[in-house]
């Protein structure tokens, strides 16, 4: 059986999502939502988080009733964040996925992949502001102070965030 073909099979598959899984999915959909991740990403992670056995992509898709396209995209995102790992299962061609449960790791790669690039480009933008400030002859205290604050903000961010990830014990 690859995909459910009739109603009773669908029901069987759906009934595999029990209240614990539902709460877990809800939990991670919201958490990922805060971090700007699409619903499907939270759903997949939430499902895997309480799964004792690794799950194949098509099982994930059918349990969550999402398309395999979504499942593929969602897993791609989760892989890039190192939030899931694929496991080898003997005698099965398919990849099987488990959730990475060390949140410190997830947090760390989220910061590196999603936040740091923004902070880097913010620094370029600040350089251009300094440029504008000198060419537009607005070198008054007001503008200089505001610009200094921005520099301090980005510097604090790019120092604190990676440090935080190392410091966490979760």
Partner DNA sequence: TGCCAATTTCATTTTTTTCTGAAATGAATG
Partner DNA sequence: CATTCATTTCAGAAAAAAATGAAATTGGCA
> What are the residues binding DNA (CB under 7 A)?
2, 36-41, 56-58, 65-70, 72-76, 91-95
**Shortest Å distance, C-beta 25 to DNA:** 12
Residue entry with tokens 């939270």: 42
- Residue 52 contact among DNA, a second copy, none, beta carbon within 5 to 8 Å by kind: a second copy
Select the residue interacting with a second copy from 76, 92, 118, 144 (CB under 8 A): 118
Select the residue interacting with a second copy from 73, 103, 111, 165 (CB under 8 A): 103
Residue 61 structure tokens: 């898709």
DSSP sequence for 39-100: HHHHHHHHHHHT-SS-EEHHHHHHHHT--HHHHHHHHHHHHHTT-EEEE--TT--S-EEEE-
What x-and-dash track marks residues 5-24 binding a second copy by CB under 8 A?
Answer: -------------xxx--xx
Q: Which is nearer to a second copy, 67 or 80 (CB)?
A: 80
Geometric angle at alpha carbon 8, from 47 and 97, rounded to 5°: 25
Residue entry with tokens 């005698």: 91
- Residue 50 near residue 86, CB atoms below 8 Å: no
**Shortest Å distance, C-beta 148 to a second copy:** 11
Select the residue interacting with a second copy from 101, 113, 159, 163 (CB under 8 A): 101
Q: Which is nearer to DNA, 74 or 154 (CB)?
A: 74
Please report whether residue 161 would count as binding a second copy according to CB under 8 A. Answer: no
The CB-based long-range contact list for 154-158 (8 Å cut-off, 24+ gap) reads 154/119, 154/122, 154/123, 154/126, 157/115, 157/119, 158/116, 158/119, 158/120
Q: Which residues bind a second copy (CB under 8 A)?
A: 18-20, 23-24, 26-27, 30-31, 34, 36, 49-50, 52, 101, 103, 114-115, 118, 121-122, 125-126, 128-129, 132-133, 135-136, 138, 142-143, 146, 149-150, 152-153, 156, 168-170
């Amino acid at each position: 059986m690859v995909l459910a073909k009739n109603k009773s099979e669908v029901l069987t598959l759906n009934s595999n999502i029990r209240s614990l899984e539902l709460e877990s999915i809800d939990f991670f959909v919201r958490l990922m939502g805060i971090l700007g991740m699409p619903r499907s990403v939270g759903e997949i992670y939430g499902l895997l988080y309480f799964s004792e056995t690794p799950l194949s992509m098509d099982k994930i898709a059918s349990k969550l009733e999402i398309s395999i396209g979504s499942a593929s995209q969602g897993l791609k995102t989760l892989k890039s964040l190192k939030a899931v790992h694929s496991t080898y299962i003997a005698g099965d061609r398919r990849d099987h996925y488990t959730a990475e449960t060390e949140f410190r790791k997830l947090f760390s790669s989220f910061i590196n992949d999603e936040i740091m690039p923004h902070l880097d480009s913010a620094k370029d933008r600040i350089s251009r502001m300094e440029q504008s400030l000198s060419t537009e002859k607005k070198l008054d205290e007001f503008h200089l102070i505001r610009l200094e604050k921005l520099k301090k903000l980005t510097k604090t961010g790019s120092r604190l965030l990676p440090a935080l990830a190392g410091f966490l014990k979760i």
